[in-house]
């Protein structure tokens, strides 16, 4: 188990485009393991590789339904929209309302190199979109709806 340092705020690596993973070797497996441990340690629901300083198209997500590892994820379907509050481990203390698809289907590879598709709705759809944005150098603050008042339940 190894916790990696989470890059924060104005760190320029957060603005770079991550590269596709061509070969899932021991280093990629170690990265996946460390990202999982780092996400749980930080009590986040998702973490993308650039957040730990690695420009590779890898993300981990767990919205309370179990760990999902995504290598080279792409959104192949999206529908609906939903505005809800969002935050980010790289932007501590910040949050805001972001509009995301209500439902997405993501195609990715798992750590064994097998391609799979996974459907996410609501929070899981939001987490997928947020993490995939990270792989393209996009932060949620780019998409915040200014002065939007969320109904607090």
Q: Which residues are catalytic?
A: 131
Shortest CB 109 distance to Zn ion, Å: 21
Restricting to residues 85-104, which ones interact with Zn ion according to CB under 5 A? Answer: 88
Residue 52 sits in the site that holds Zn ion (CB under 5 A)? no
Nearer to Zn ion, 24 or 134 (CB): 134
d(CA 18, CA 48): 10
Nearer to Zn ion, 70 or 88 (CB): 88
Torsion of CA 101, 107, 111, 114, to 10 degrees: 160
Other CB atoms closer than 10 Å to residue 123's CB: what's the count? 18
How many chain residues interact with Zn ion (CB under 5 A)?
Answer: 1
- For residue 63, give the nearest of 120, 24, 108, 103 by alpha carbon: 120
d(CA 58, CA 129): 13
Shortest CB 23 distance to Zn ion, Å: 26
Nearer to Zn ion, 52 or 88 (CB): 88
Q: Measured at CB, which residue is nearest to Zn ion? A: 88
Restricting to residues 18-47, which ones interact with Zn ion according to CB under 5 A? Answer: none
Nearer to Zn ion, 24 or 52 (CB): 52
Q: How far is CA 17 from CA 78, 80, 124, 148, in A?
A: 22, 27, 23, 29
125 φ/ψ angles, rounded to the nearest 5 degrees: -60, -45
Shortest CB 43 distance to Zn ion, Å: 13
Other CB atoms closer than 10 Å to residue 137's CB: what's the count? 16
Shortest CB 136 distance to Zn ion, Å: 12
Binding residues for Zn ion, per CB under 5 A?
88
């Amino acid at each position: 188990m190894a916790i990696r340092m989470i890059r924060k705020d104005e760190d320029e690596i957060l603005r770079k485009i991550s590269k596709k993973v061509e070969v899932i070797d021991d280093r990629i497996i170690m990265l996946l393991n460390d990202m999982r441990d780092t996400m749980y340690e930080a009590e986040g629901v998702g973490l993308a590789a650039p957040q730990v300083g690695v420009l590779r198209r890898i993300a981990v997500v767990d919205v309370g339904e179990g760990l999902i590892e995504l290598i080279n994820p792409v959104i192949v379907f999206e529908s609906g929209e939903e505005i809800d509050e969002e935050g980010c481990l790289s932007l501590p203390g910040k949050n805001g309302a972001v509009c995301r698809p209500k439902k997405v289907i993501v195609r990715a590879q798992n750590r064994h190199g097998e391609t799979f598709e996974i459907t996410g709705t609501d929070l899981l759809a939001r987490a997928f979109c947020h993490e995939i944005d990270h792989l393209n150098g996009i932060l949620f603050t780019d998409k915040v709806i200014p002065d939007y008042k969320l109904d607090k339940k």
